Amino acid sequence: MRTVLIAAAIVFSLLGSVTVEAAEIVIKFSHVTSGKAHPKYLAAEEFAKRVNERMKGKVRVEIFPGGQLFDDKAVLIELIKGNAVQMAAPSLSKFETITKKFRLFDLPFLFNDINAVNAFQASEHGQSILKTLESKGILGKAYWHNGMKQMSANKPLIQPEDANGLKFRVQQSDVLVAQFEQLGAIPQKMAFKEVYGALQTGVVDGQENTWSNIYSKKFFEVQDGVTETDHGVIDYAVVVSKRFWMGLPDDIRTELDAILMEVTNDRNKLSRSLNLENRQKILDSNGTIRTLTAEQKDAWRKAMKPVWDRFSDEIGADLIAAAQSFSQ
Ligand code: LMR
């Protein structure tokens, strides 16, 4: 008994003299892009910089770009568990397995430009789409912009018929599969990491992506040229593991939310100019860019439009109308 009391006294005196520091919270943020002028790469870096400066000792954000940790398909599964990764920003086209509402963003020629995308995302309808993730164990915290999609292939694409019979890489999205089928092309779902090799070796003939992805991944080097179609959008949902996020102390969560909102507002304004910078870099590197006349662009719009009918029931006609209203 005496020994126990002495031991307890030692423990108490030790505890009394030592202030126990709360362990630093580490947030692993995984994404697939890279490149010093890429909108998502830069936004993620900026988020980490601000958190790591302002919440020093309490929270540390570690960014894993270039798909070095997980590709976008795997990251969603890992996020639900919340152990290996706590934060990510997959493109909206990659949420297919979790919710069908995100399919809206892949409808061809739904938005005229990134400003229309931005206005819709900020609206009540736009925000309601993010909320559909919650019941699946993921919280959609913000939209980050990349930009409008362009189309490239190993031959010039001027009329929609030019895509006929060609194999195109698409993201993990059935709407994008339908879009290329509508053109008489052969779509193939493929991870971002594999696209350059697939274009180079002829596994696929073409692809669609933003200027920043086409430049940073050098797709233009293994294509005949890029056609400025602006036919769709690649944007991101910044997502966190619900289990992890709701387990954070309230004050920490509030501060992280505030920093994320600041970074979102600051960086989204720069996405268009960054994409134009990447477009220019393609030209400076002797890449070919083809522009379309209004009539030619209209022909692409008409050729792809039937895709809307195939998906409008499950996306919801009201949601489509709401999104469309920002491009009229
Ligand atoms: C793609 O797979 O083409 C894009 O979603 C990559 C990205 O994150 O921009």
* Within-domain flag for 323: yes
Q: For residue 276, what is the domain's CATH number?
A: 3.40.190.170
* Within-domain flag for 16: no
What ligand 1 atom has the least distance to the C-alpha of 91? 5
* Within-domain flag for 159: yes
Task: Tell me how many domains the chain contains.
Answer: 1
* Within-domain flag for 256: yes
Write down the H helix ranges in 137-285: 174-182, 195-201, 211-216, 242-246, 250-268, 271-284
Length of the chain (residues): 328
Residue nearest to atom 2 of ligand 1 (CA): 192
Write out the residue range of the structural domain in which residue 103 sits: 23-327
pTM over 0.75: yes
Whether the CB of 171 sits within 6 Å of ligand 1 = yes
Distance 192 CA to ligand 1 centre (A): 6
Residue nearest to atom 6 of ligand 1 (CA): 192
Whether the CB of 32 sits within 6 Å of ligand 1 = yes
Whether the CB of 172 sits within 6 Å of ligand 1 = no
Taking alpha carbons only, the member of 271, 244, 221 closest to residue 28 is 244
* Within-domain flag for 258: yes
Whether the CB of 44 sits within 6 Å of ligand 1 = no
What ligand 1 atom has the least distance to the C-alpha of 210? 9
DSSP for 85-120 reads -SEE--BGGG-TTT-SGGGGGGSTT--SSHHHHHHH
What ligand 1 atom has the least distance to the C-alpha of 192? 2
Distance 162 CA to ligand 1 centre (A): 24
CA distance 129 to 135: 12
DSSP 298: H
Do the Cβ atoms of 36 and 71 come closer than 8 Å?
no
The pLDDT profile of the chain, 328 residues, written as one tens digit per residue, is 444 444 444 444 444 445 666 799 999 999 999 988 999 999 999 999 999 999 999 999 999 999 999 998 899 999 988 889 999 999 999 999 899 999 999 999 999 999 999 999 999 999 999 999 999 999 999 999 999 999 999 999 999 999 999 999 999 999 999 999 999 999 999 999 999 999 999 999 999 999 999 999 999 999 999 999 999 999 999 999 999 999 999 999 999 999 999 999 999 999 999 999 999 999 999 999 999 999 999 999 999 999 999 999 999 999 999 999 999 8
* Within-domain flag for 213: yes
* Within-domain flag for 12: no
* Within-domain flag for 123: yes
Whether the CB of 192 sits within 6 Å of ligand 1 = yes
Residue nearest to atom 3 of ligand 1 (CA): 192
Do the Cβ atoms of 72 and 227 come closer than 8 Å?
no
Distance 22 CA to ligand 1 centre (A): 37
Residue 60 gets the label, from left (phi > 0), alpha (psi -120 to 50) or beta, of beta
